Chain A
Amino acid sequence: DAKTTQPTSMDCAEGRAANLPCNHSTISGNEYVYWYRQIHSQGPQYIIHGLKNNETNEMASLIITEDRKSSTLILPHATLRDTAVYYCIVRVVNYGGSQGNLIFGKGTKLSVKP
């Protein structure tokens, strides 16, 4: 079973920031937080991941609380093409060693509206 809790759906106005929350209260020390999104009928697309520090890349920012029990994915200027299902996943990662698989929940359906 997925170890994360996300809202079923969210709306966001085009051009505004989209803030997608995720709860992972049982996260372990060696589990990373990963975010993927899936646009209708396509394969999941990797967005970003982090362990405990905030992360930013060209697609999004990831804010992880100090206790690591929750996180927020931020799309700074949402466009219509960002309409998708967003999945928050926790995953064990040991670089060069054992790594967990991605266990998907149902995610958050983000609708960006003009």
Chain B
Amino acid sequence: GDSVTQMEGPVTLSEEAFLTINCTYTATGYPSLFWYVQYPGEGLQLLLKATKADDKGSNKGFEATYRKETTSFHLEKGSVQVSDSAVYFCALFGNEKLTFGTGTRLTIIP
């Protein structure tokens, strides 16, 4: 079945550091790919998405590119802020449902 593997956390970075959170997937066909974010005390919310190979999703300074050849959708941000501290989930949509990774907790220290 479909699966998503993402970078183990937790990840701690200093403010303004470069961020990468790795995500790879296994799926039949060509799924849509997503990053959801969960801020403390809140539910998940969509951060960005990509629906086909080589698409780049972007939002709030975060980017991820759908790489079919490496089955990856790594999340990047050039300069993180304290307000980016959250749990990040990579997900794919296939077989009529979302399949989530285990989540990566990110903490940014001033």
Q: Is B one of A's binding partners?
A: no
Q: Using a CB–CB distance below 8 Å, which chain A residues touch chain B?
A: none
- Please list the residues of chain B having a beta carbon within 8 angstroms of any beta carbon in chain A: none
